[in-house]
């Protein structure tokens, strides 16, 4: 919906996701999200996230930006801080080191966070969409820890992060996001 709103103002938009976005990154996504008997170590998960991100940045995001496109990515490095840092308990400094290695000084211009004080209700809503991948089936405490990291990052940089109540009805939520995105890029 956001991409369509931006396109309607005459801007060329690329939508993508993480992990994923390229052939190799999509294969890494499958490795990350598939249910297995073998436990995946938190550091393995984090390293795979950054491996997928390196491919994605080099082959999709940076070329699109150099062509003047607006890139909308469903999740990015903030999700690594939240899920692998908060959720899995990986030392945030380790994530920062990989972020700097893979991204250099590249950071998103704007990050939209859909947040809810009722995480359990959000998880129930998500389960209605499908069976849940390896990360989506984590316990409530995992998502509570991840949510705290998202909110801490937003609090630390309110110019880049905009937080919205995910439990709103879709149309008012969409309208509020479009308004903030328009204002952010008009001011830039």
Classify 113 as helix, strand or coil. Answer: strand
C-alpha span between 94 and 77 (Å, rounded):
13
Confidence of residue 118 (pLDDT cuts 50, 70, 90): confident
Q: What CATH number corresponds to the domain at position 173? A: 3.40.50.300
Confidence of residue 101 (pLDDT cuts 50, 70, 90): very high
The chain-wide mean pLDDT, for the chain, equals 93
The answer to whether residues 162 and 112 touch, using CB atoms and an 8 Å cutoff, is yes
- 162-185 pLDDT, tens digit per residue, is 999 988 899 999 999 999 999 988
Q: What is the number of residues in the chain?
A: 188
Give 66's DSSP letter.
H
Report in angstroms the alpha-carbon separations of 131 from 100, 137, 159, 188.
Answer: 35, 8, 36, 41
pTM assigned to the model: 0.92
Classify 12 as helix, strand or coil. Answer: coil
Higher pLDDT, 9 or 61: 61
Q: How many domains does the chain contain in total? A: 1
Residue-range definition of the domain harbouring residue 51? 2-187
């Amino acid at each position: 919906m956001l991409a369509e709103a931006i396109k309607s103002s005459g801007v060329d938009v690329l939508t993508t996701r993480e992990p994923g976005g390229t052939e190799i990154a999509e294969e890494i996504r499958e490795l990350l999200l598939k249910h297995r008997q073998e436990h995946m170590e938190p550091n393995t998960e984090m390293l795979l996230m950054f491996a997928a991100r390196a491919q994605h940045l080099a082959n999709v995001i940076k070329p699109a930006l150099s062509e003047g496109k607006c890139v909308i990515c469903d999740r990015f490095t903030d999700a690594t801080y939240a899920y692998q840092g908060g959720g899995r308990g990986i030392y945030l400094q380790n994530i920062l080191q990989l972020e700097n290695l893979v991204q250099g000084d590249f950071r998103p211009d704007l990050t939209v966070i859909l947040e809810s004080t009722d995480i359990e209700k959000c998880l129930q809503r998500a389960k209605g969409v499908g069976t849940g991948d390896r990360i989506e089936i984590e316990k409530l405490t995992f998502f509570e820890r991840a949510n705290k990291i998202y909110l801490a990052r937003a609090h630390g940089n309110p110019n880049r992060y905009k937080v919205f109540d995910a439990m709103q009805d879709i149309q008012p939520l969409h309208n509020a996001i479009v308004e903030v995105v328009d204002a952010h890029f008009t001011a830039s």
